[in-house]
Amino acid sequence: MSDLDGRTVIVAGTSGALGSGLATAFTAAGAQVVGVDRAAPDDRARVDGVRYEVADLTDDAHVAAVLDGVDSPWAVVSTVGGFAPKSSIAELDPEELDVQLTLNLMTAAVLTKHALRVMKPAGEGRVVLTASRAASDTKGNGFAYSVSKLGVLHLVRMASEEVAGTGITVNAVVPSIIDTPANRAAMPDSDHDRWPKIADLARAYLYLASPLSTPVNGAALPV
């Protein structure tokens, strides 16, 4: 029996490869998984036993309604995000910057806000966000994407300070490039064998979302 057995875990971004993989991993660990995304996943991404909810994760009211509709969530895990390739800052597209800040930082902030709101009365819970190595390793990365993921790390630090001394923790997984079909298609000439696999990444999320990770708060765990 897993220490997540019977606990409710919300996974945001279950239409994507990482989110779908985490839904599978948490379900296998015995968790009651609620998958949330802006659109219902297609049949290939659906995981048996997962309850799916549709919500605009950039919308405060939508996210509030989802969290209020889940009875005693133990963990909120976010895989929501976007990507923008490297480009010259002299040619920065303000619209692209706005999109990346919305997809990567706004969604993480709104989910964290409402996760903490519903967890604080219980005095326990886990929030696990997804950052990126691009937040600190700027070489080869675009400004819009990099700064939006840096914002996620700052959010983790500030939120973790807010809940310090309680049974709630806020942490982040910090992957490098993830081995997904979309990333392979975007970078066909890369060495895909060296990329972290979703099953390997899932172990980091499972640990940070588990009761056993109690001493860990404010961490940015590189994978």
What confidence score (pLDDT) does residue 2 get?
77
Q: Between 109 and 82, name the one with better pLDDT.
A: 109
Whether 138 shows a pLDDT value over 60: the answer reads yes
Q: Between 142 and 112, name the one with better pLDDT.
A: 112
Write phi, then psi, for 11 (nearest 5 degrees): -115, 115
List domains and CATH numbers for the chain. Answer: 8-222 (3.40.50.720)
How do residues 108-122 score in pLDDT, each as one tens digit? 999 999 999 999 999
pLDDT band at 150 (very low <50, low <70, confident <90, very high): very high
What order do you get walking across the sheet with 8-12 strand by strand? 51-54, 32-37, 8-12, 73-78, 124-130, 167-174, 220-222
What confidence score (pLDDT) does residue 1 get?
52
Q: Between 169 and 141, name the one with better pLDDT.
A: 169
What confidence score (pLDDT) does residue 151 get?
97
Q: What is the mean pLDDT of residues 45-58?
A: 94
Q: What is the mean pLDDT of residues 140-147?
A: 87
How do residues 3-44 score in pLDDT, each as one tens digit? 999 999 999 999 888 999 999 999 999 999 999 999 988 887
Q: Between 96 and 84, name the one with better pLDDT.
A: 96
Whether 187 shows a pLDDT value over 80: the answer reads no
Q: Token pair for residue 117?
A: 């709101």
| Portion of the chain with pLDDT greater than 90, in percent | 73
Q: Between 131 and 85, name the one with better pLDDT.
A: 131
How do residues 172-182 score in pLDDT, each as one tens digit? 999 987 777 77
d(CA 76, CA 168): 11
d(CA 12, CA 172): 14
d(CA 65, CA 220): 28
